[in-house]
């Protein structure tokens, strides 16, 4: 028989049916006449109430069960007198599978998220991290469904790469050379030609260039996988290893790209709200009381569109004393992004057409030659959640842009080829998966929305 989970039992369990469950004790209350065990198994926030009567054989052992014990419980489901749950289990048999030592650190009291990060092996047992893991799972499913429903193919971009995606971020080197005494060439530099792949290799910072290859053969594709940045940013929005979603569409311009990003965010958020109502109610109650209202506004109203130039005018006219002063030509900082989305508009904003000098060489140059067809989607509480662009598909302009950035045509030969053999307008974006989970849950720190965070100075667990 397939093992039943608490989620199924609470959703569909019929009174008077027999069942068997496995899980851990979240709380145990023992009175003279009865024992109440709350059994959880990760399948949902709520636990199943297990009632044990003293007449049960071996009841003395049951009285010593406590938070953290692993159990097998079988018995009969009965309608619960409590209003917080539909059914409870009247135990006929309780087996202790794994006892818990006295020093179990997760007693029934609130722990700080910082403290819980030092318990990476246990923290999923808390309500908050459990809910995060379930919402993350739901979000990943919703993302695949969104693209699959629209005929996008999932392209598995490589993790080890020789491309640097034009400085999207600092990169980690992948090498099997002896770190203590690597081989050197005549000029004394490390000789990567003797390395595993016969050249220098790195962990990817973005799958975009591979996604472009995919789109220019397969039409619409997306990547969804881990990316790495060795940037030393100790912030609440940066990880050294994070997951990125990167759709890329052939025969598409920036308007189509922005439309896709808006549909995508709305669809994925709606799907999570439907799929995880209990977990979402928990985030609303315990983590961020403005959460539901904010998410409602995201799914129900159109995103605002602003050009970068308009955004700068708004920021200059705001009368705000920003830490980083704004003027046309500078990149928008988090404080600017948040002012625009949180205070000026109060909903998500798509900012387009950034100055050419602050953006990558592959972005489509506008006729004004001062701006490129780039976009960022900004959302309240997080700031930038999506960054994308229409790509430069005109061979001559791309050559010029490579020259301007001091990049060699030889190195990007294959990229130029794609502009020589049936080039088409194409566009795409990158979404930081953890930024999305942060936005949807209201969690303040990105380290608490990924199972095992990698950040400067820490790769534990
Ligand atoms: P930021 O300005 O916030 O550092 P970025 O401009 O470096 O981001 P992009 O290179 O445009 O980001 O990457 C695409 C998306 O990946 C971003 O919109 C963001 O959601 C996410 N992202 C970027 N860097 C990180 C990181 N270090 N940790 C988690 N997510 C990230
Ligand atoms: Mn960006």
Q: pLDDT per residue over 26-57, tens digit each?
A: 999 999 889 999 999 999 999 999 999 999 98
**CA 237 to the chain's CA centroid:** 11
Residues 90, 34: contact at Cβ < 8 Å?
A: no
Give the pLDDT confidence of 91-120 residue by residue, as tens digits. 999 999 999 999 999 987 789 999 999 999
CA of 435 to the centre of ligand 1 (A): 8
Nearest CA to ligand 1 atom 28: 238
Q: How far is CA 199 from CA 59, 115, 388, 407, in A?
A: 67, 42, 30, 18
* pLDDT above 80 for 217: yes
Task: Kindly indicate the confidence band of residue 15, based on its pLDDT and cuts at 50, 70 and 90.
Answer: confident
The span from the CA of 256 to the CA of 294, in Å, is: 25
At residue 318, the 3 state secondary structure works out as coil
CA of 432 to the centre of ligand 1 (A): 6
The span from the CA of 376 to the CA of 313, in Å, is: 17
* pLDDT above 80 for 189: yes
Mutate to test the pocket of ligand 1, among 324, 391, 435 (most ligand atoms within 8 A of CB): 435
Residues 303, 349: contact at Cβ < 8 Å?
A: yes
Cβ–ligand 1 contact at 430 (below 6 Å): yes
Torsion, Cα 53 55 59 65, to 10 degrees, reads: 0
Task: Kindly indicate the confidence band of residue 1, based on its pLDDT and cuts at 50, 70 and 90.
Answer: low
pLDDT at 24: 97
Give the pLDDT confidence of 383-399 residue by residue, as tens digits. 899 999 999 999 999 99
Q: Which two tokens stand for residue 323?
A: 């830490």
pLDDT at 228: 96
Nearest CA to ligand 1 atom 18: 386
Mutate to test the pocket of ligand 1, among 168, 358, 384, 439 (most ligand atoms within 8 A of CB): 384
User: What ligand 1 atom has the least distance to the C-alpha of 168?
Assistant: 10
The span from the CA of 94 to the CA of 300, in Å, is: 49
CA atoms within 13 Å, Cβ hemisphere of 167: 8
Cβ–ligand 1 contact at 261 (below 6 Å): no
CA atoms within 13 Å, Cβ hemisphere of 30: 11
Nearest CA to ligand 1 atom 19: 432
Query: Hunting for tokens 């092996």 — which residue is that?
Result: 121
Q: Which residues pair with 50 in a beta bridge?
A: 37, 89
CA of 435 to the centre of ligand 2 (A): 12
Sheet strands (E) in 53-205:
70-79, 87-98, 153-154, 160-161, 173-174, 201-203
CA of 17 to the centre of ligand 1 (A): 51
Residues 279, 286: contact at Cβ < 8 Å?
A: no
Sheet strands (E) in 99-219:
153-154, 160-161, 173-174, 201-203
The span from the CA of 383 to the CA of 226, in Å, is: 21
* pLDDT above 70 for 165: no
pLDDT at 74: 95
- 123 vs 13, higher pLDDT: 123
Q: Is 229 exposed, middle or buried (0-12, 13-18, 19+ CB in 10 A)?
A: buried
Q: H-helix or E-strand containing 384?
A: strand 383-390
When the pLDDT of each residue in the chain is averaged and rounded to a whole number, the result is 94
Q: Which residues pair with 220 in a beta bridge?
A: 249
In this structure, the number of other CB atoms found within 10 A of the CB of residue 149 comes to 9
Handedness of CA 351, 220, 271, 141 (dihedral sign): negative
Cβ–ligand 1 contact at 432 (below 6 Å): yes
Q: Which two tokens stand for residue 358?
A: 């602050």
CA of 431 to the centre of ligand 2 (A): 9
- Main-chain phi, psi angles of 307, to 5 degrees: -80, 160
Q: Which of 56-65, 112-121, 130-139, 241-250 has the lowest mean pLDDT?
A: 56-65
Q: What would the 3-class secondary structure string for 254-315 be?
A: HHHHHHHHHHHHHHHHHHHHHHCHHHHHHHHHHHCCCHHHHHHHHHHCCCEEEEHHHHHHHH
Mutate to test the pocket of ligand 1, among 237, 377, 432 (most ligand atoms within 8 A of CB): 432
Cβ–ligand 1 contact at 166 (below 6 Å): no
Mutate to test the pocket of ligand 1, among 237, 246, 385, 455 (most ligand atoms within 8 A of CB): 237
Cβ–ligand 1 contact at 123 (below 6 Å): no
Cβ–ligand 1 contact at 168 (below 6 Å): yes
The span from the CA of 443 to the CA of 449, in Å, is: 7
pLDDT at 140: 98
Cβ–ligand 1 contact at 239 (below 6 Å): yes
Who's near 201: CB < 8 A, 6+ residues apart? 160, 161, 162, 173, 174, 175, 195
CA of 421 to the centre of ligand 2 (A): 29
User: What ligand 1 atom has the least distance to the C-alpha of 388?
Assistant: 11
Q: Which two tokens stand for residue 226?
A: 């881990």
Residues 253, 388: contact at Cβ < 8 Å?
A: no
Ligand nearest to the CA of 378: 1
Per the confidence metrics, is the pTM higher than 0.75?
Answer: yes
Q: Which two tokens stand for residue 434?
A: 């953890």
């Amino acid at each position: 028989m397939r093992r039943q989970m608490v989620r199924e039992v609470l959703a569909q369990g019929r009174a008077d049916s027999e069942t068997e469950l496995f899980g851990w004790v979240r709380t145990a209350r023992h009175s003279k006449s009865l024992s109440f065990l709350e059994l959880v198994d990760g399948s949902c926030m709520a636990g199943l109430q297990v009632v044990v009567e003293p007449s049960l054989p071996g009841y003395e052992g049951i009285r010593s069960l406590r938070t953290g014990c692993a159990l097998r419980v079988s018995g009969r489901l009965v309608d619960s007198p409590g209003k917080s749950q539909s059914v409870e289990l009247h135990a006929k048999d309780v087996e202790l599978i794994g006892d818990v030592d006295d020093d179990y650190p997760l007693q029934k009291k609130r722990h700080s998220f910082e403290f819980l990060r030092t318990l990476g092996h246990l923290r999923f047992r808390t309500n908050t991290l459990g809910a995060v893991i379930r919402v993350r799972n739901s979000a990943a499913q919703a993302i695949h469904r969104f693209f699959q429903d629209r005929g996008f193919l999932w392209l598995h971009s490589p993790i080890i790469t020789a491309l640097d995606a034009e400085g999207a971020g600092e990169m980690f080197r992948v090498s099997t050379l002896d770190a203590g005494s690597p081989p050197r060439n005549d000029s004394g530099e490390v000789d990567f030609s003797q390395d595993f792949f016969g050249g220098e290799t790195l962990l990817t910072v973005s799958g975009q260039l591979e996604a472009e290859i995919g789109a220019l053969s397969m039409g619409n594709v997306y990547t969804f996988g881990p990316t790495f940045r060795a940037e030393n940013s100790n912030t609440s929005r940066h990880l050294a290893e994070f997951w990125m979603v990167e759709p890329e569409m052939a025969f598409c311009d920036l308007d189509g790209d922005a439309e896709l990003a808006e549909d995508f965010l709305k669809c994925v958020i709606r799907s999570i709200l439907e799929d995880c109502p209990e977990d979402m109610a928990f985030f609303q109650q315990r983590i961020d009381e403005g959460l539901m209202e904010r998410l409602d506004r995201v799914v129900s109203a159109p995103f605002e569109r602003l050009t970068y130039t308009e955004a700068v005018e708004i920021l200059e006219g705001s009368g705000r004393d920003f830490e980083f002063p704004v003027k046309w030509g500078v990149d928008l900082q988090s404080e600017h992004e948040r002012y625009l989305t949180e205070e000026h508009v109060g909903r998500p904003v798509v900012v387009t057409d950034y100055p050419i000098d602050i953006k990558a060489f592959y972005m489509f140059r506008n006729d004004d030659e001062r701006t490129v067809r780039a976009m960022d989607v900004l959302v309240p509480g997080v700031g930038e959640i999506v960054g994308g662009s229409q790509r430069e598909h005109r061979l001559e302009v791309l050559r010029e842009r490579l020259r301007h950035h001091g990049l060699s045509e030889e190195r990007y030969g294959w990229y130029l080829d794609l502009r020589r053999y049936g080039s088409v307008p194409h566009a795409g974006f990158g979404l930081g998966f953890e930024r999305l989970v942060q936005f949807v849950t209201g969690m303040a720190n990105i380290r608490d929305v990924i199972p095992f965070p990698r950040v400067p100075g820490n790769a534990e667990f």
